[in-house]
Amino acid sequence: MKFKSALSSQLLFVLLQIGDFATTWVVLKTGGGEGNPIVKHLMLFGTLQGLLLSKVLLLAIATIAVKLKKMRVIRTCNIVFALIVAWNLSVVVRLALNGRAG
């Protein structure tokens, strides 16, 4: 059962990274900005390149955590990124309601 739980946490981590990437991209394309200073710095390489690089780095860190059997790190990240995705979605809605989208 532990294996199944760990696999579910890893899958959720990947899905949340995709969700964060997608919602951040929409926010940026509809007039919003990046709030994370590290990601903002990576975006000096280009918006898309910076976002992709941030996700590659996070996936590398998560891979190390899994190899070290530090699943609590993955579960904690899942909570944080679920909140980030929810926040991004709220920003998308606010931008759309303010007429800044599209």
Q: Provide the mean pLDDT of the chain.
A: 92
Under the banding of pLDDT at 50, 70 and 90, the label for residue 50 is: very high
3-state helix, strand, coil in the chain (%, to 5): 85, 0, 15
Q: How far apart are CA 65 and CA 48, in angstroms?
A: 26
Segments making up each domain of the chain, as ranges: 7-96
Burial classification of residue 20, based on how many CB atoms lie within 10 Å of its CB (0-12 exposed, 13-18 middle, 19 or more buried): buried
CB 74 within 8 A of CB 10: yes
User: For 52-101, how does the pLDDT look when each residue is reduced to its tens digit (9 = 90+)?
Assistant: 999 999 999 999 999 999 999 999 999 999 999 999 999 999 999 987 54
The tokens for 39 are 């990601």
**Is the pLDDT reported for residue 102 higher than 70?**
no
